[in-house]
Amino acid sequence: MLGVGPRDRSNKRYYKIELVDRIPTVRRYLRNEGLSPEMARAKLIQVMHGNTPPTSRREVINLLDKPMEEVRATIALLDRVRKSDDA
Same-domain pairing of 3 and 24: yes
Same-domain pairing of 42 and 17: yes
The total of structural domains in the chain comes to 2
Q: Over 80: is that where the pLDDT of 3 sits?
A: no
The CA distance from 47 to 50, in Å, is 5
Give pLDDT, residue 2: 57
- Mean pLDDT along residues 45-67: 82
Range of the domain at 13: 1-52
The torsion angle over the Cα atoms of residues 35, 39, 44 and 45, rounded to 10 degrees, is -170
Rounded to two decimals, the pTM is 0.47
Same-domain pairing of 27 and 10: yes
Give pLDDT, residue 51: 76
Q: Which position has the higher pLDDT, 25 or 52?
A: 25
Same-domain pairing of 29 and 67: no
Same-domain pairing of 10 and 48: yes
Same-domain pairing of 45 and 83: no
The CA distance from 65 to 38, in Å, is 34
Dihedral sign for Cα atoms in the order 66, 72, 73, 74: positive
Give yes or no for a contact between 52 and 46, defined as CB atoms under 8 angstroms apart.
yes
Query: Among 33-42, 55-64, 72-81, where is mean pLDDT lowest?
Result: 55-64
Same-domain pairing of 43 and 60: no
